[in-house]
Structure 1
Amino acid sequence: MGNDAQQGPDRGIEIRPITHEELADWDRAIALGFMRPHVAPATEWRELLYEPGRMLGAFDRGGPATGGRARCVATFRSFDTELTVPGGAQLPVDAVTAVTVNATHRRRGLLSGMMRHDLTAARERGAAAAILIAAEHNIYGRFGFGPAVPLAGWRVDVLRSGGVRAGLPVHEGHRIDFATLEEFRKHGPELHERWRPTQPGAIGRPEAWWRLRAGEIDLPGFDWKQGFTAFHRTADGTLTGMINYTVDDKWDGAYPDCPLTVRDFLALDRETANALWTFAFSVDWVRHVVAPYLGPGDRLPLLLADPRGAKPHEESADFTWLRLLDLPAAFAARRYEAPGRLVLDVTDRAGWTAGRWVLEAAPDGTGRITPTDDPADLALDVSRLGSLYLGGGSAAVLADAALLTELTPGAAVRADTLLRTARAPWNPDGF
Structure 2
Amino acid sequence: MSLDVRTVTESEFPDWLRALNTGFLRPPVVTDEEVEGRRPHTDLSRARGAFEAGRCVATFRSFAQELTAVGGASLPASAVSDVTVSPTHRRRGLLSRMMAADLAAAKERGDVVSTLIAAEYPIYGRYGYGPATWTTEWEIDVPRTGLDPRWAGPGDGGRIDLVDGVEVRKTGPGLHERLRASRHGVVSRDERYWNLNTGLDRLPGHPWAEPFYAVYRSAGGELEGLLAYKADDTWGESKLPQNTATVLDMIAVTPAAERALWHFLCSVDWITKVRSGFRAPDDLLPLLLPDPRAARVVTHADLLWVRLLDVVRALEARTYPVPGTLVLEVEDSAGLAGGRFRLDASPEGAVCAPATESADLTLAVGELGALYLGDESAVRLTALGRVAEESKGAAAVADALFRTPRRPWCPDIF
User: How many Å separate the matches in 2 of 1:296 and 1:404?
Assistant: 24
**In the alignment, does 2:33 pair up with 1:50?**
no
Query: Do residues 60 (structure 1) and 43 (structure 2) align?
Result: no
Q: CA deviation at 1:402?
A: 1.7
Would you say the 8 A contact 1:44–1:219 is kept in 2?
no
| Residues 206-225 of structure 1 mapped to structure 2, 5 A cutoff | 206-222=190-206, 225=209
Q: Which residue of 2 aligns with 1:147?
A: 131
Counterpart amino acid of 2:2? G
Question: For residues 309-330 of structure 1, what are the alpha-carbon distances to aligned partners after superposition, in whole Å with 9 as ceiling and x for unaligned?
Answer: 1211x22200110000001111
Conserved? CA contact 2:225–2:253, under 8 Å: yes
Map of 2:140 onto structure 1: 156
Q: 1:405 to 1:191 in 2, by over 3 A?
A: same
Q: Which amino acid aligns with 1:325?
A: L
Contact between 1:14 and 1:58, CA under 8 Å: does it hold in 2?
Answer: yes
Alignment check: 8 A CA contact 1:213 1:224 kept: no
Task: Name the counterpart of 2:102.
Answer: 118
Distance (Å, rounded) in 1 between the aligned partners of 2:280 and 2:60: 28
- 1:33 partnered with 2:16: no
Does structure 2 conserve the Cα–Cα contact (< 8 Å) formed by 1:379 and 1:407?
A: yes
- The CA deviation string for residues 57-76 of structure 1, in whole angstroms up to 9 with x for no partner, is 11112xxxxxxxx1111111
Q: How many angstroms apart in 2 are the aligned matches of 1:182 and 1:26?
A: 33
* Residues 162-201 of structure 1: pairs in structure 2 closer than 5 A: 162-163=146-147, 172-201=156-185
Q: Distance in 2 between matches of 1:224 and 1:317?
A: 28
Whether contact under 8 Å (2:249, 2:277) holds in the other structure is no
Question: What amino acid maps onto 2:146 in structure 1?
Answer: G
User: Structure 1 residues 170 and 284, CA, compared in 2 at 3 Å: closer, same or farther?
Assistant: closer
C-alpha offsets along residues 228-263 of structure 1, whole Å, 9 cap, x if unaligned? Answer: 111112244322110011111122212212111111
| Partners of 2:16 and 2:112 in 1: CA distance | 28
Aligned pair partner of 1:369 in 344, 352, 356: 352
Moved more, 387-396 or 287-296: 287-296
Q: Is the 8 A contact 1:171 1:271 kept in 2?
A: no
RMSD, aligned α-carbons: 1.9
Q: Which amino acid aligns with 1:367?
A: A
Give unpaired runs (5+ residues) of structure 2: none
Q: Secondary structure at the match of 2:312?
A: helix
- Partner SS state of residue 178, structure 1: strand
**CA offset at residue 303 of structure 1?**
0.7
Q: Offset at 1:170? A: 6.0
**Deviation per CA, 1:91-149, whole angstroms, max 9, x where unpaired?**
00000000011111111111111101100000111000000011111111110001001
Aligned: 1:403 with 2:396 = no
Partner of 2:302, secondary structure, is strand
Quick one: which amino acid aligns to residue 32 of structure 1?
T
1:29–1:324 distance in 2 versus 1, CA, 3 Å: same
Quote the Cα distance in structure 2 between the aligned partners of 1:56 and 1:220. Answer: 22
Structure 2: distance between partners of 1:402 and 1:164:
49
C-alpha distance in 2, partners of 1:88/1:39? 43
| Distance in 2 between residues matched to 1:133 and 1:429, nearest whole Å | 9
Match of 1:416 in 2: 399
**Do the aligned residues in 2 keep the contact of 1:164 with 1:277 (CA within 8 Å)?**
no
**Contact 1:80–1:95 (8 Å) recurs in 2:** yes
Q: Which residue of 2 aligns with 1:127?
A: 111
Counterpart in 2 of 1:292? Answer: 277
| TM-score calculated relative to the size of structure 2 | 0.94
Q: How far apart are residue 224 of structure 1 and its match?
A: 5.4
Partner amino acid, structure 1, of 2:181: P
Change over 3 Å in CA distance of 1:208–1:303 after alignment to 2:
same
Kindly provide the amino acid, as one letter, of the partner of residue 108 in structure 2.
E
Q: 1:338 aligns with which of 309, 317, 322?
A: 322
Pair 1:270-2:255 in alignment = yes
| Alignment-mate amino acid for residue 419 of structure 1 | F
Report 1:318-329 matches (<5 A): 318-329=302-313
Name segments (4+ residues, structure 1) moved above 6 Å.
Answer: 164-167
SS at match of 1:384: helix
Match of 1:304 in 2: 289
| Displacement after TM superposition at 1:166 (Å) | 11
What are the superposed Cα offsets for residues 316-350 of structure 1, whole Å, 9 maximum, x if unpaired? Answer: 20011000000111111111111111111111011
In 1, Cα distance between equivalents of 2:46 and 2:83:
12
- Corresponding residue for 1:425? 408
Structure 1: 5+ residue runs without aligned partners?
A: 1-10, 62-69
Contact kept, 8 Å, 1:171 with 1:272, in 2: the verdict is no
2-structure distance, mates of 1:45, 1:391: 38
Percent identity between the two aligned chains: 47
**Aligned partners of 2:344, 2:147: CA distance in 1, in Å?**
46
Secondary structure of the residue that 2:376 maps to in structure 1?
coil
What amino acid is the match of 2:112? A
Please tell me whether the aligned partners of residues 133 and 375 of structure 2 are also in contact (alpha carbons under 8 angstroms).
Answer: yes
Is 1:244–2:240 an aligned residue pair?
Answer: no
- Is 1:378 aligned with 2:361? yes
> Conserved in 2, the CA contact under 8 Å of 1:391 and 1:419?
yes
AA aligned opposite 1:424:
R
Instruction: Return the alpha-carbon distance in structure 1 between the equivalents of residues 321 and 259 of structure 2.
Output: 27
